[in-house]
Amino acid sequence: MLEIVAVPAFADNYLWLIHDPVSGETVAVDPGDSVPLLAEAERRGWPIGQVWNTHWHPDHSGGNEAVKQAGATVYAPASEAARIPGVDVALKEGDRVRIGEHQAEVWEVPGHTLGHIAYVLRDDGIAFVGDTLFAMGCGRLFEGTPQQMFESLQRIAALPADTRLYCAHEYTLSNARFAAAAEPANDAIAHRLKAVEQARQAGEMTVPTTVAEELQTNVFVRAHDPQDFARLRTSKDTFR
């Protein structure tokens, strides 16, 4: 089994370390800040051999160069490689990357940015989805269209129900409050909101999530069509 560790950074980011105890290999996913990431890897005795970037935003790629200098190969989406520091291998839809004997498929999931990718480890029931899907939410449409994001979310949501989804921010409480306002009759959302409130009050993480949880409580995943999604996304952008 892969070991996956969250490294908090900035106000609400999660940087991820993936470690394969069989091969001894370690991957850093979206290392926006190299300092806490390298410190945690050193504390655990996990030399980082790879960086997997999901998109170009600096809070996801700003630590690339320092991690690369420590010995890592940097993988990133091909269409955004010019905007990402230190890229060694440019990835596109259908490519594969590996950690030990564990294989990840590269999916292009545009919407938050045009070149955003996800890393899907089907055999492990794991996906690293960056800022495309959050627990009970999704990323803002900085570059893509509602159609693109709707299709990206539907693709992720079609994975097996027990697939664990690792996103890059602790936004769940805000997302849950919006979901409760958008679907006031949804008991699953109401129940999850209470659980998230309790978790955050205790200082606990609310991610990873699962496909099953998102199908029940993520209003963006539950949108009927791109137009319904666009309405919800516009509403969330101004929700307080």
User: Active-site residue numbers?
Assistant: 55, 57, 59-60, 112, 131, 169
Rounded Cα distance, 66 and 152, in Å: 31
How many other C-beta atoms lie within 10 A of the C-beta of residue 75?
23
| Residue of 50, 42, 55 lying closest to 20 (CA atoms) | 50
Nearest CA to 126 out of 52, 203, 33, 22 is that of 52
For residue 198 the two structure tokens come to 């309790």
Indicate the DSSP class of residue 95: -
Residue type for position 27? V
